[in-house]
Structure 1
Amino acid sequence: MTKTRKEERRYWGSVEPPKAKAEFFSAVTAPVAEGSDATVATIRMYGPIDSWGGWWGISTEDVSRVLDALPDTVEQIVLRINSPGGEVWEAMAILNMLAAHRAQVIAVVDGIAASAASFIAASCDETVMSRGSQMMIHSPWAFAIGNAAKMRKQAAFLDTLERSMIEVYSEKAGDKDWATLLADETWLTAEDTVALGLADRVDVVPDAGTATTVGAEEDVLIIIADLEEDDADDEASARAARIHAAAASARAAAPQPPDSTEPGNPANKEELPMSDKFLADVRDRLGITDANAPEETVFAAFEQRIAAPAPAPTAALPEGVVAIEATQLEQMRADAQAGREARDAQLAAARAATVDAAVADGRIAPARRDHWIASLAADPGSAETLAGLQKGLIPVDMVGVTGGVDESSDEDGAYSKLFPTAKAEEA
């Protein structure tokens, strides 16, 4: 049978979800060699951290029952972790329960301590990375729906949540650029985790005792006093029975999540009504004018909208070509034309100023002004020729008029002074 995407991506992968919590979360106590009361307990946290509990994951309620049922003689807890993480507040409550317990807690990362599981591991009295294990830290995330103000409020809340996480990491490893490490979703090998300061060493830590197989039909947390057969006595058996009964009773009294017989991740089957504001927004977007239209009408309009054929795709533009609205294109053309005209006027003024300067310092005659302006317009390189003419060749002051001719504009005389040989040959 082909699996759906939801089934393929669920936490348990292709493995059937466990039928009993003890299959991935259990506690085992072991006695000392002489057969007296247990001083070490192992708690296996092999699964996601989730407030639902059950086989959805490990909840604070699950952990509290295990801790409450441990014998008073337990002085050390070996917390073995292989968890992808989960809910932040649930993990915070778990790490604080462990910190408040009378026993010393040693966290042992057997596989992965990711996300929320990472700060449970880092908060214990000692953190040990098993060979080949990893830790991952990242910024918290959440789902949100609403307007811009709602989204900004949600973002501010996530920033606050991240500061709480950084407090836990900083207490273990000191000041780091935690904001960057979290934003980058940092994956750490066992050695990397120790180098960063979130773990104390890489080592192999033995269990408190041998795990006991749990019956498939029992969906309870079971704590087993692992006594050697030769050392078992009536008192030890009675104590184990009391612990078992207490855990079973507490588990039976706990609220159960909704059941599902469907494959994949079970989901809450309770129908949740839409908020009035959300329903009103959907009506507006769908163009429903009846403000009292019920949810059924809104859903029918929504289904009709999504069932409508999608608009035909437009032809793809060649690479480097961008589509633009006609009115915007026309405005851009007008702006470009105005810019060109302004630039032409600016260049014309500059040419006129250059020629006027040459007339003023006697390099050319005033009568040649228009000629030089035209030359500069046709060939901007003419400016070098104009600049190379000797100043003062053409008198710039009025020296009198003879026969109706302005002597100051005697261009032929000026030319003869500049090119005497050429003038002589022409003559």
Structure 2
Amino acid sequence: MNPFKPNRPPAAALTARAEIPTPVVANGVATLRLYDVIDAWGGDWGVSAGEFNAAIDALPDGITEIRLLINSPGGEVWDGLAILNALRSHPARTVAVVEGIAASAASFVAAGCDEMVMSRNSEVYIHNAIGYASGDAEVMRAAAEDLERLDRNIASIYAEKSGKSIEYWLAEMPKDRFMTAEEALESGLADRIEGADAAPVARARFDMSMFARPRGDRSPQATLPELPSSTEPGDPNRKDDLVAYEDLTAGLRERLGVTETALTDEQLLAALDESLAERAEPDEAAAPAAEATPAAAPVADGSVVVEAGAFAELQRQAALGATAHATQQTQRREGIVQNAINEGRIAPASREHFLALLGKDEAGTVAALASFPKGTIPVAEIGHSESEAVTDNQRLAAKAGWGTTKKEA
């Protein structure tokens, strides 16, 4: 149902160009639209902070939620910040719903709300601040500093929403990134996609290794650190082991009744230990001699009771899975160090040192190895062997079976 269609006042009664009636309220929820450029002039130029915030001020008491529908190309940073802070200061919960695109200033207005919802097929666009200046070198330097300050200010809004660092977003903004609804959700800017059904936990798993190929992540931080990746140096990608390991963890989750798929190995093993500890053993001394059926021991919520042999098998499989996972980690880190040695970044004698560093801080050590120049450490014999000095005539003679000629000093 379109809340803006019934009983719409004439154009003169609108409090902002963003098609905001006076006001649209239902069951304590006020619905507003931001469907235009954000511009300090307002009027024919777009929606100003003054116009938009006047509509917010006109909302009646008792509003518990402001639902802001957005389809805007953005505009001026300071007016966008003023709109965002007016929404922040209102006691109602704010929900931004991106219906078309939340671009530029509209993107941080949406990200600054209590909840950011992407409609299906909607998009977000982020970029560095843009400005214009005219003057001497000092004026230009000051303008550049102003833009850098604004970039950091905007990045802080994205960082607060997503949980990622300001530096992460400062690296993403110069890319002029368009993000789909799914990418906005994955990046942490969006909280959910409206209209997208929640996918059930996958039960069946398939070995898709025959189709594997490097895909080239769009984001430099998109690689998961704990899983083998075809983009890592060396040869760490052992898909047969990985598929077997995933089958094992899926089986453990199914038997324990755990639906959360993001659990770490330690959390999954802890759930198994807890379930084993809570399993009540029969008390033979208290059992009556008659053939009466003993009362079943109470089972705590969230626990699953299974036959003792099945639990022993689960423990055995969990131990095997942990061992396989540790082996994968060791082999993958050895591949990283060996690749650095092959490229001449580090000496072979440093192998154990860098393996120990990878165990303590993998991301930092990988970054350090990548910063070392290639070819610093020779990886082949310097000079030429005697075989490399063989002339073309000698090669032809050897091929013809005429024997070889000793090289004289």
* Normalised TM-score (structure 1): 0.41
Choose 1 or 2 for highest CA Rg.
Answer: 1
| Higher relative contact order (CA closer than 8 Å, sequence separation 6+) | 1
> TM-score of the superposition, structure 2-length normalised?
0.43
